[in-house]
Structure 1
């Protein structure tokens, strides 16, 4: 398993994207290019990614949590995970990495416990038929909030590595 982030002899944050159904991949590519960062898109099916540059598609076998397991194994304290999966975000935080939801919601050590509990409660309510709808639709405000939070996470990661922000 390759862990990106070593570029031209300097350590930089790597952005790991939980690629299946991620609505902000293009935004991640643009921000990563501006900051000269590696991006690893992890998915269990082929998807188009930018040619050249520092974006790589990591294909994993199909199966529950296979992509999540790959990201959780590869991620390092200075990296950033982009995922809507709350348990994966918790695993990334436990390794000292940053985690951002696709709507721009930052997962933090202070908020992850309640996010996991809410997820469990909503899952239970769906199982017993109390809730039949899915998540809210993705809105332009979510994209804007995501871009802002990704920028903040990258700046924090660069500062923690002692590289220029």
Structure 2
């Protein structure tokens, strides 16, 4: 991250269950948020939160994010493919459950996604994610707070 660019929390917002937690945490740190969603998911901008609406195409939000995310930004997404590309651009990537995607675990996650898709193509079934709980939301908010504090400390040094 360059000195002239402020960190932004970028959210793959179409199916993000922790938007409120992101907004609350970002406000506490004074960090801008950019929610990216298709026109199918109508969202309103708020103070400190910019909303970008994109076409309904299956990859429109991902393409917008990849064209605008920068090193040092934080991305919140459930999409392993998008996470992989964002890591390559130097972003910090979190899942809505607070798992941090890193260069050390993304290959395993991509392989697991590939195996699940292969099984489904062959007629098999795979389980979806379990429902979000209050504990999941707290865990996410704690992880986001930890990441933001860590990044702030790097800038203060």
Matches within 5 A, 1:100-115: 100-115=94-109
Q: Is the 8 A contact 1:12 1:158 kept in 2?
A: no
Q: 3-state SS of the aligned residue for 1:40?
A: strand
- Partner-residue secondary structure (3-state), 1:15: strand
Aligned length: 156
Q: Identify the residue that residue 87 of structure 1 maps to in structure 2.
A: 81
Q: Does 1:130 align with 2:124?
A: yes
Instruction: Give distance in 1, aligned partners of 2:49 and 2:87.
Output: 23
1:58–1:50 CA distance, 2 compared to 1 (3 A)? closer
- 2:147 paired residue among 153, 158, 161: 153
Paired residue for 1:47? 42
Deviation at 1:139, TM superposition (A): 1.7
- The yes-or-no answer on 1:36 pairing with 2:36 is no
**RMSD value, Cα:** 2.1
Stretches of structure 2 lacking an aligned partner (at least 5 in a row): none
Write the distance in 2 (CA, Å) between the matches of 1:133 and 1:111: 21
Q: Are the equivalent residues in 2 in contact too, given 1:16–1:75 (CA < 8 A)?
A: yes
If the length of structure 1 is used for normalisation, what is the TM-score?
A: 0.86
- Greater than 6 Å deviation, 4+ residue runs: none
- Using structure 2 for the length normalisation, give the TM-score: 0.90
Which sections of structure 1, spanning at least 5 residues, go unmatched?
A: none
Contact 2:116/2:126 (CA < 8 Å) preserved in 1? no
Q: Deviations over 1:49-104 (max 9, x none)?
A: 453x2101001111121101111111111100000001001111000110000111
- Verify: 1:143 aligned to 2:137, yes or no: yes
Instruction: Provide closer, same or farther for how the CA distance between residues 90 and 65 of structure 1 changes in structure 2, counting only shifts above 3 A.
Output: same
